[in-house]
Chain A
Amino acid sequence: MKVPIEFTVNGASRRAEVEPMKRLLDVLREDLALTGTKEGCGEGECGSCSVRMNGELVNSCLVPALHASGAQIETVEGLADSSTLHRLQRAFLECGGAQCGICTPGMLMAATQLLAQNPHPSLEDIREGLAGNLCRCTGFTRIFESVAAAAALEAHAR
């Protein structure tokens, strides 16, 4: 039976009529048409579907809609200002942190979480912060360099 779920997504109040066991990933993609969040493994192992929920990083494939009720959700669509890329997005572009792009939204959200808690991470911190996000293209080095580059940018540059 569908139930109404109200929550905040990227700062805007949203509402959806969904089954309470529906995956947050599917609610975002199907009900809210926010297809930036990708499905990789669908079992919490690859991090492609990472979003932030109440300031914590979660795999949206493992969050039932019921648990997102009333929550603050941040997805990759919320990173850029209308015309200005987030500094992490710019760094990923400039440092070659993205290739096929499937893991990129999750990488960006995990990196956003990391920088929110640790604005000046060491390489070891970056590796740990992104350890739950798998990339099969880049070999990770350029992703880690992108995060380090974004951290080095002025904080006021978002």
Chain B
Amino acid sequence: MRGNPATHQFAAPGSLEAVLSLLASEAGEWMPFAGGTEIMVAHAAGRLRASKFVSLCGIPDLRFISTNESELSIGAATTFSEIRKSDSVARDFPLLSRASSWIGAIANQSRATLGGNLVNASPAADSSPALLVYDAEIEMISVRGRRRIPYSCFHLGYKRTALAPDELLLAVHLPRRFTGHKQYLRKVGTRRAMAISKVALAVTALIEDNLIREIRIGAASLAAFPTRLRRTEDALLGGAITSETIAAAQAAVMCEASPIDDIRSTANYRRRVGANLLNEFLRSTASDGSST
């Protein structure tokens, strides 16, 4: 049953302040509308629950990529095309650059936004594994003020986030200290473009003298929301990369991951492939020491 555009309100107040006061005036009634690549699909299918939308279009405070000495910041309404084209993202955060290049296809990347990808909170979100392994922070804003939390604390459950009803996702901040880390990202899906992940895994690791000094593993579609695999990280931390540690890490993934069976794949397949991707990363670092 197709949605009827006449049943929806759609406001475009044009400034951040005006958007925030609208969100505050009727908390939970207004849904922010950025690129619309999720909302318009639900609209076409007649399954939009919200009836009032507020456009984030044309608000420069939400659409920027900036850097200072310590971090790179991306406005929540920045599109994946813009992220993909950014030299500073490509230099310091190549995994995010690559993830942006395989979200949907060109026509989706030109509309879909980083903030939308996170707020939509799909367990399979394409940008999430990279953000998790780069220790991203999320900045939220409302008429009450601003706050920053680690991205790893943003998802609370399936499609549930830390965002309050009157809050807007303002920006994502990435600390610029990963260029010396080995970096890995791989998405497994039915085809390269336009495919929702069966499973995706990102890793950043600081390896010195074949010892793992730091490691972060971010996964999509291995739990109800994008998440770090902390127990697997602990199993590797401080250890040398040997066949034994790799086997132990694979076992840890199999144990820690909690994927589901759905239309795209099975829980068993996802668990096994997640473990295999980690194996691929660890073996690549052990063999030639180069980052991917």
Contact = CB atoms under 8 A, between A and B. Distances in A.
Interface of A: 1, 18-23, 42-45, 47, 50, 53, 56-59, 61-64, 66-67, 110, 113, 128-129, 131-133
B44 A47 contact: no
Contact of B108 (A59, A64, A128): A59
Given A19-B8, A64-B10, A132-B193, A113 B44 contact: no
Contact of A58 (B5, B33, B57, B110): B110
Contacts of A63: 36, 40, 111
B53 interface: yes
Nearest to A42: B44
B43 A59 contact: no
A62 B41 contact: yes
Contact of A20 (B10, B110, B193): B10
Interface string B267-285: 0000000000000000000
B12 interface: yes
A78 B33 CA distance: 30
A64 B106 contact: no
19 contacts: A18-B5, A19-B5, A20-B8, A21-B5, A21-B8, A21-B43, A23-B5, A43-B41, A43-B45, A44-B41, A61-B44, A62-B108, A64-B10, A64-B36, A66-B55, A67-B36, A67-B55, A113-B106, A131-B194
Interface in B25-59: 33, 35-37, 40-41, 43-45, 53, 55, 57
Interface in B95-150: 104-108, 110-111
B13 to A, nearest CB: 12
